Structure 1
Amino acid sequence: MAGLLQGQRVIVAACGSIAAVKTPLLVSALIKEGAQVRCVVTSSGSQLVSPVALACLSRNPCLQDADQWDPSRPRPLHIELAEWADLLIVAPLSASSLARWVHGDGQGLLASLLLACECPVLAASAMNTAMWQHPAVQRNWSRLHDDPRVLPLAPQAGLLACDRVGTGRMADPECIVLAAASTMLQADSEGKLRSDWRGKRVLVSAGPTREPLDSVRLISNRSSGRMGVLLAQAARFRGADVDLVHGPLTVPDAWLEGLHCLPAFSSAAMEVCLLERQSRADAVLMCAAVADVRRERSDNSSKLPKGELMETMAQGWEQVPDLLQSLGARRSSQQHLLGFAALAGDDETLLRRGREKLQAKGCDLLMVNPVDRPDQGLDSDLNGGWLLGPGEREEAIPAVHKLALAHDLLDRLSQLGD
């Protein structure tokens, strides 16, 4: 996360779920991101993951229930930990610990810590599918969404340790790290998280398109899809239901968890997918790097001989329809539209071309990002440029991590109002 967690004080707690075997991976990833980490494990969790391993990975003692009332400590341990932490991550959160938490039961170190802490909390639940679907567990889980300091990360579907295929798998450690960075970006001084997109449906496009020349060769670009995916996840972490229409991506698979992913690798497929879903969206965020041209007819059944390739490429091209402009022409007055324009040149050129595109494409906001500057833009962790909007609005955006930019853009869309 390119320093977004550098120096942050994070407590990682493991409960009695077999998913606790993944907790060391999470601790290791947080340490690599530069976070200061302290670990807490419940008595049942200690039977599944080694406290020694957590201590070694975190470079701090792993704390358990027996440590809570150590007479050598001048202050209660759960209070000391609550005041130390910038973020508390419970991964995995078991059904038992969830029930104690929402009912205010402070028995045990973690239970007391959850009641005492005033920092943001990430809750990554994990359990057997039948347990997860039980009405009592679902009632308890729904109550977490009412706490403005809590970001609940629901379990994912897959093969579980009990050999059942269903929902119950803990969020991937890479996704939890992404959620942790997002939380640190959006938490206010009281530890409360933004839920301004709750109940909204957001449609996001991401990644490049691939336009075939024959069954083997294609035209594409260097877009990784990182900006669009991070926009989608930032919106999800703030409460939105997100449809992600994407071309081929170069991001961790874990970053797609929790999103409704719709692969669409060609410009034609992406157009169909976006137009089908636009009417249901409260906001459309067009971040895909769609190809400008494609073959009028391509032979996808065979590979062209090298000798015929140049002759074939010299003719038979057509311009790809402008998808952002098409969406702008079809949107309702209540739907917000954010566009991206990857341009090259000096600031004067960027602004001139950006204004032309903003007017032509009919979007509320247009993020003009230069792709000819080092360490930002396509296939980079950073992005910046100019944000253009109504009333001749022009704002220079410094190069920042794309997740930080994603939250900034969501803030600005929210400020436009309904």
Structure 2
Amino acid sequence: MSTPSGSRGNAPRRILLGISAGIAAYKSAQLARLLKQAGHEVRVVMTDGAQAFITPLTLQALTGEPVRTSLLDPEAEAGMGHIELARWADLILIAPATADLMARLAHGHADDLLTTLCLASDADKAMAPAMNQAMWRQPATARNARRLADDGWRLLGPDSGDQACGDVGPGRMLEPEAILAALSAPVERPAEGVRVVITAGPTREPLDPVRYLSNHSSGKMGFALAAAAAALGARVQLISGPVALPTPAGVERFDVESAQEMHDAAQRLAGECDLFIGCAAVADFRAETPAEHKLKKREGEDTLTLRLVKNPDIIAAIAARADRPYVVGFAAETRDLATYARDKLERKRLDMVVANDVSRAGLGFGADDNAALLLWREGDTTGQVELPPQPKIALAEAVIRQALAQLADDAD
């Protein structure tokens, strides 16, 4: 069995650099140069489309090795060249990896030299996705990314920002320096074998066919938790309310609308998970009977009376199961943060609470940063740590690591 990509740290490696068709291919020249400077042996394989963006001669000059471009090269294949290359490499790195290439690899295609090498090699495998933001957000791309991660591919990125087409969003290839740093860092997967279920985003409770009750949750924190857990090696299932966010790589996603739909999905998935994180901002109430047709304003009526009923308490229902997993809840408060968080921990029989002060400017709902107070059970006492303001993805990793630590303590 091959070791995880990057697990050899800075030791010299035999790296097969695959380049597929994308404008980000121009970065591959700098990446090849950096890999060589770091002491690695580098050989390059280019798809037909990649040669429209950068020439093989450029990569040959940078690596000092011939560049392979065709599976049907009579001279190279006289000695089964593609098998020789597959055996030579101890790391296959594809940068950029387009949506098309990801799809072909995810489905086991071997219709050109690069995909054939990938199937024929037992080497570690990593790729840096690069595509338009809309393509990265597509469910098909998310499914392919999950399948590739399950097959042992390490996904580096993508980054988010300005794109060559003029769009802004996720899909940019990581910069060469970031790819080199990721490959040089040891891969740590403390959540290997842990199954995690996470709820994220708001719920929508219909009042009539065109109106609903909801809240300001963007889903960013829940999605960051899912991304962090997957990056640490967990198998992650994400139950998401209606949000405009791409599915994190390696995460299985279930889309729901209402609190009842989220409750049903959570109950269905929680029975076999080790860690359940209720991060969604679930509506407390719903209309008792949503109107069949659009509610109309009536002359002379200045008020509208709605009869609301309570929604199921998802996190409490999971905590009350006989086969309960380790349960982490979130508490979004505007005052007395520690008091309300501790009350929620006890009242709902949770194992941990992540409390946010959503009244703080620039943090919480819709923001890219967040801060949190973590409270958890330690026998008859309560453990506590305060996490300062930081990007949600960094905060998410800290939360996941703390939950994993407590889960391990409980197992002992």
Q: TM-score, length-normalised on structure 1?
A: 0.65
Distance in 2 between residues matched to 1:49 and 1:381, nearest whole Å: 35
Q: What is the identity, as a one-letter code, of the residue corresponding to 1:323? A: I
Distance in 2 between residues matched to 1:69 and 1:46, nearest whole Å: 19
Distance in 2 between residues matched to 1:97 and 1:258, nearest whole Å: 33
Q: What is the identity, as a one-letter code, of the residue corresponding to 1:281? A: C
* 8 Å CA contact 1:296, 1:318 repeated in 2: yes
Distance in 2 between residues matched to 1:341 and 1:97, nearest whole Å: 59
Q: Matches of residues 11-410 of structure 1 in structure 2 within 5 Å? A: 15-17=18-20, 20-21=21-22, 23=24, 38-40=30-32, 44-45=45-46, 47-49=48-50, 64-69=59-64, 103-105=87-89, 126=102, 127=104, 129-131=107-109, 137=118, 140=121, 144=124, 158=140, 173-174=158-159, 191-251=185-245, 253=246, 255-299=247-291, 301-307=292-298, 313-330=304-321, 332=323, 335-345=325-335, 349-390=336-377, 391-410=381-400
Shift of 1:45: 2.2
SS of aligned partner of 2:346: helix
Distance in 1 between residues matched to 2:217 and 2:96, nearest whole Å: 32
Shift of 1:256: 4.0
Report the RMSD for the aligned CA atoms in angstroms: 4.5
* 8 Å CA contact 1:201, 1:282 repeated in 2: yes
Distance in 2 between residues matched to 1:213 and 1:376, nearest whole Å: 30
* 8 Å CA contact 1:234, 1:403 repeated in 2: yes
* 8 Å CA contact 1:201, 1:240 repeated in 2: yes
SS of aligned partner of 2:257: coil
Distance in 1 between residues matched to 2:82 and 2:360, nearest whole Å: 48
Residue by residue over 1:53-74, the C-alpha shift from the partner in whole angstroms, topping out at 9 and shown as x without a partner, is 679xxxxxx961222349xxxx
Distance in 2 between residues matched to 1:393 and 1:245, nearest whole Å: 28
* 8 Å CA contact 2:32, 2:62 repeated in 1: no
Task: Flag the 1:337–1:98 CA change in 2: closer, same or farther, 3 A.
Answer: farther
Q: What is the identity, as a one-letter code, of the residue corresponding to 1:217? A: R
Task: Flag the 1:179–1:231 CA change in 2: closer, same or farther, 3 A.
Answer: farther
* 8 Å CA contact 1:366, 1:389 repeated in 2: yes
* 8 Å CA contact 1:197, 1:238 repeated in 2: yes
Shift of 1:173: 4.1
Distance in 2 between residues matched to 1:239 and 1:97, nearest whole Å: 35
Distance in 2 between residues matched to 1:98 and 1:157, nearest whole Å: 33
* 8 Å CA contact 1:205, 1:286 repeated in 2: yes
Residue by residue over 1:322-379, the C-alpha shift from the partner in whole angstroms, topping out at 9 and shown as x without a partner, is 211111111636x22111111102xxx1111110001112222111001111111000
Shift of 1:414: 1.6
* 8 Å CA contact 1:39, 1:63 repeated in 2: no
Structure 2 residue runs without a partner (length 5+)? 1-14, 34-42, 66-79, 130-135, 142-146, 161-169
Shift of 1:406: 1.1
Seq. identity, %: 26
Segment drifting more, 312-321 vs 268-277: 312-321
Q: What is the identity, as a one-letter code, of the residue corresponding to 2:373? A: W
Shift of 1:287: 0.7
Task: Flag the 1:139–1:67 CA change in 2: closer, same or farther, 3 A.
Answer: closer
Residue by residue over 1:23-42, the C-alpha shift from the partner in whole angstroms, topping out at 9 and shown as x without a partner, is 359x69xxxxxxxx933396
Structure 1 residue runs without a partner (length 5+)? 1-11, 29-36, 56-61, 71-95, 115-120, 160-166
Task: Flag the 1:137–1:351 CA change in 2: closer, same or farther, 3 A.
Answer: same
- Work out the number of aligned pairs and report it: 330
* 8 Å CA contact 2:25, 2:95 repeated in 1: no
